[in-house]
A and B are shown apart, each in its own frame.
Chain A
Amino acid sequence: MKTLSRLGLAAALALACAAPGLSVAQPPPAAVTVPIKNFAFMQMSTTIATGGSVTWKNLDGEPHTVVSTDGLFRSGGLDEGESFTFKFIRPGVYKYVCSIHPQMKATIVVR
């Protein structure tokens, strides 16, 4: 038992160490969902591949919007359960807010 658990721990450690290396080697995902919950975008920074899409889904009882600070994209009002998707065709760093609650801020990185 003791040996087995040691082996398991070693395997877990090996995986944990390998994971960051893998993520660097792999291209960013082509599609990501960012939930909106408790007056926050659940990922402060989201990285996707050029040509990829981000979908925001509002899980709050209060409506939210997704509005880029440079005016590139703007959702309508997203009521509870509603989604908005935007396809990013150019690399860059895109900051966005909820225009109803502008204290809610996050970033999309397109590589």
Chain B
Amino acid sequence: MPPEFDRRGALRCLGLAAGTLFGLSGGVLTATPLAQAATRAVGKPLFVQLSDTHIGFNKPANPDVGATLDRTIDLVNALPVQPALILHTGDITHLSKAEEFDAARQHLLRLRVTELHVTPGEHDMIDGTGAAYLDRFGQASGGRGYYSFDHDGVHFVALVNVQHFKTGGLGAFGDDQLAWLKDDLSGRSSSQPLVLFAHMPMWTIYEPWGWGTGDADQVLALTRRFGSVTVLNGHIHQIVQKTEGHVVFHTARSTAYPQPAAGEGAGPGPLVVAPDELPRRLGLTSVGIASSPGLTTLSDTALA
């Protein structure tokens, strides 16, 4: 493995490659190669999920996270049909610094899609109160961080699970947010598709590294009566997916650097890979809703 990241080498390798598209119908998940999906009706692209941009990171695992974010944004801007929304599932910055938030915002302004929804990661809340994050991204939630909105008949809920860590390191939503969510979902039709997004995984992927959310089961209990639930997270910088009944859980890749698979090595830190390998470990997730009710499709695209 080369000691230094070869930026030009990596950029040469950046290019759109086929990912995999997942369609969900009646709780059954089927995978289709993205190239094949492009020629089939898979519904209109509703939104693209970006995650873990870690602006400010500059270590050997990726000395230029701005360039890889820009390349990801180029991929989104080049989509033949632009999605309606962009969701960012947190760790916008690496160290919650004002200049990192300001740089991230300038990168994200390059997106042709202007409607951006975000939820913070623990790297965005290092100052404790989350003031640096909420000053810039807190308007939609009235300074709370969590909020909901509707688009095209789909109910979106941005949740925050990085402010009330449980002993042992799992994320948590906390009682106030759970009470708010119960109120937010009450009175909604069970046939309305739900998209929940938060930074840390909402099922326990690996507890020793805190890859889970302690009170996520209470959130899922509130969604049980809904026919179509999509749960999107970031945090672990790799794709892990599962389907449980009517719920699809999906974690997205980072646009900045990969992390080891659960339990491999000392901890969940930046993983240095060969320059030509890096773009294959970074990317985005795009989600569409088909015209037939209850059908959502997820597809992941790597940078190479």
A residues near B (Cβ < 8 Å) are 38-39, 60-63, 65, 67, 74, 76-77, 79-80, 97, 99-104
Contacts and interface: CB of A to CB of B under 8 A. Distances in A.
B168 A102 contact: yes
B123 A103 contact: no
A46 B59 CA distance: 30
B26 interface: no
Contact of B165 (A77, A79, A99): A99
B208 interface: yes
A61 B165 contact: no
B126 interface: yes
B200 to A, nearest CB: 11
Contact of B95 (A77, A97, A99): A77
B269 A102 contact: no
A3 to B, nearest CB: 47
20 contacts: A39-B268, A39-B269, A60-B269, A61-B60, A61-B61, A62-B268, A63-B94, A63-B123, A76-B95, A76-B126, A77-B123, A99-B122, A99-B128, A100-B126, A101-B267, A102-B167, A102-B210, A103-B168, A103-B169, A103-B208
A81 to B, nearest CB: 11
B128 A77 contact: no
B95 A79 contact: yes
Contacts of A97: 165
Interface residues on B, range: 20 to 34
Contact of A99 (B60, B126, B168): B126
B234 to A, nearest CB: 14
Secondary structure at the A interface, as helix, strand, loop or mixed, is loop
Given A101-B169, A103-B168, A103-B210, A62 B126 contact: no
A38 B123 CA distance: 18
A99 B59 CA distance: 21
B270 interface: yes
Contact of B267 (A38, A65, A67, A80): A38
Contacts of A61: 59-61, 269-270
Nearest to A103: B169
B254 interface: no
Contacts of A77: 94-97, 123, 126
Nearest to A78: B95
Residue in B61, B95, B96, B168 whose Cβ sees the most chain A Cβ within 10 Å? B95
Contacts of A100: 122-123, 126
A38 B269 CA distance: 9
B102 interface: no
Contacts of A104: 169
Contacts of A62: 267-270
B126 A63 contact: yes
A39 B266 contact: yes
**5 tightest CB-CB pairs across the interface, nearest first?**
A39-B267, A103-B169, A62-B269, A38-B266, A77-B95
B27 to A, nearest CB: 34
Interface in B49-98: 59-61, 94-97
A79 B126 CA distance: 12
Nearest to A39: B267
Contacts of A99: 122, 126, 128, 165
